[in-house]
Structure 1
């Protein structure tokens, strides 16, 4: 397992654990547990996951440019018949 994958998994489990503890436990700081869990998901886990999945890929392949639209139309014509 790659280190970035392992770090992302640990951060995800920690954030999910914080949210679940905040929902289950009856303590004074339940809102803080839930809030830190959500912040961890959006500020740590999501960027790490996005970096891991997009590393080494060309962004232009996923943009709607004229060339890509023409390719999509051509593929639709080929698959239609």
Structure 2
């Protein structure tokens, strides 16, 4: 997954850079394709890769988590 993310990122960034630097009629399409690739392909894949195997409830504000945070503050 790490290599897929790297390849997608390099392709998207290269597309954006080439769209700016090349003087072709489809330069704006290269830029748009690169941006769409970053936002609709790279970021969801990256988010899935980083959050895989984690419990979402650990990051939500619940009564139990608030109590844990308050206990930590009292100990300091």
TM over 0.5: yes
Aligned residue pair count: 76
User: Shift of residue 42 of structure 1?
Assistant: 0.9
| Matched residue, 2:22 | 25
The 4+ residue runs of structure 1 with deviation greater than 2 A are none
2:58 paired with 1:76: no
How many angstroms does 1:23 deviate by?
1.2
TM-score normalised by the chain length of structure 2: 0.93
Q: Deviations over 1:4-58 (max 9, x none)?
A: 1110110000000001111111111111011000110011111111111011000
Q: TM-score, normalised by structure 1?
A: 0.88
Distance in 2 of aligned mates of 1:77 and 1:49: 36
Question: What's 1:38 paired with?
Answer: 35
| Cα distance in structure 2, aligned partners of 1:27 and 1:70 | 60
1:52 aligns with 2:49: yes
Structure 2 unmatched ranges of 5 or more:
none
